[in-house]
Amino acid sequence: MKPPPSPLAASLREETARGDLVLIVDDVPDNLAVLHDALDESGYTVLVATSGEAALVRAAQAQPDIVLLDAMMPGMDGFEVARRLKADVATAHIPIVFMTGLTETEHLVAALDAGGVDYVTKPIKPKEVLARMNVHLQGARAARQQAQQAGQARNALDAFGYASITVRMPEGRLIWQTSLARDLLLRYCGTTAPQTPAAVLDWLHQHLPTTAGGVEPPPLTIEQGARHLQLRVHQQTGDRDEPGQNLPGWAGDWLLIIREVSDASVIEAMSLALKLTAREAEVLYWVVKGKTNKDIGDILGSSPATAKKHLERVFVKLGVETRTAAAGVALKRIRMIQPHFEV
């Protein structure tokens, strides 16, 4: 999976609407100048390195979307640069296009074996390079868009008070969490990242195979007295496509949303959403639950007549005339807050 961009990479991408960073590695200034000008005119942000050592440093710092790599350089050649880039988890995802004047089959095979995805032969033809690059950059753009969407989804969840975590499967490592999620998992399960609670792992292993096939899994509930946590699978934020590993189709990073559910939290949310007093919200909550005025009086420690008076004020505020209509309005709003609320 592609790591998040470094501050340098993010800064460089702001310079171009296209957002593609290209690292050119060549020890010949004329070659650098020709490619730099062609790529710059085409809207790319261009980085250059004139040695293998400099290329490794630049790639680690900037995390380019693609590397154009000269095969034959003094000192560390392009084959060794490619092997080192692929051996580093921070740069292993970057596609490498070799530039070589060597056309013998064994040299081209060596380029691919070292981790290259493609090659162009010298003398360099900028139009050919651009065409080859575009093919391999499509995947980088898709990955970047997916990461942005995942970040937006997490931010939206946080803004609405949802705790959320990301779990990497199938190993089950918790790789991201909001502060609220951290507190809830510690309180309910006694676990902290990178450990994922055993109950959550068992649930994911049981249901993710069907989720990948388009079937939404049931929520997981973790009880703790009158309160409980409810976890739902929100979306897959990254696939695991790792050569040489026999991973299941549902392998990847999964974003889960967590809500702490209790009578108190739902009543408080209803009070805010429907502009009711705390006691009016309590009465309406128990109406939704099918309780009579006598039942409500017993629950709240008051008389049925008091419950009736509160309910009459609720009718006025909601613009309804019956218990059924009031319950319907409340239930609709509750399910906006708690989509799987059960009466």
Q: What pLDDT, on the 0 to 100 scale, is given for residue 48?
A: 92
pLDDT by position in tens, the chain (length 343): 445 555 545 554 444 444 588 999 999 888 888 888 888 888 888 899 999 999 999 998 888 889 999 988 999 999 999 999 988 877 888 899 998 887 667 777 888 888 888 888 888 888 889 988 888 887 767 766 666 666 655 555 555 556 888 899 888 999 888 888 888 999 999 998 889 999 999 999 998 888 766 677 888 988 775 577 889 888 777 666 555 567 777 888 888 988 887 767 778 878 888 889 989 998 998 898 888 999 888 888 889 999 999 999 999 999 999 999 999 888 887 777 666 566 6
Handedness of CA 127, 130, 132, 138 (dihedral sign): negative
User: Distance of CA 153 to CAs 149, 163, 259, 333, Å?
Assistant: 6, 12, 16, 22
Residue-wise DSSP of 16-77: -SS--EEEEE-S-HHHHHHHHHHHHHTT-EEEEESSHHHHHHHHHHH--SEEEEES--SSS-
- Cite the residue boundaries of each domain of the chain with CATH code 1.10.10.10: 264-337
Domain 264-337 class in CATH: mainly alpha
Q: How high is the pLDDT of residue 306? A: 93
Q: Which tokens is 223 given?
A: 């009880």
What confidence score (pLDDT) does residue 18 get? 47
The reported pLDDT for the residue numbered 305 is 93
Question: According to CATH, where is 3.30.450 located in the chain?
Answer: 161-261
Percent composition of the chain: helix, strand, coil (DSSP 3-state, to 5): 50, 20, 30
Give the pLDDT of residue 243. 59
Q: pTM for the whole thing?
A: 0.43
Task: Please report the pLDDT score of residue 240 as a whole number.
Answer: 60
Tell me which of 3.40.50.2300, 3.40.250.10, 3.40.50.300, 3.30.750.200 is the CATH number of domain 7-147. 3.40.50.2300
The 10s digit of each residue's pLDDT in 270-298 is: 888 888 998 999 899 889 888 899 988 88
Residues of the chain with CATH 3.40.50.2300: 7-147
Q: Confirm if 24 and 276 have CB atoms less than 8 A apart.
A: no
Which strands, in side-by-side order, build the sheet including 227-239?
A: 173-177, 163-169, 252-261, 227-239, 220-224
Fold of 161-261: Beta-Lactamase (3.30.450)
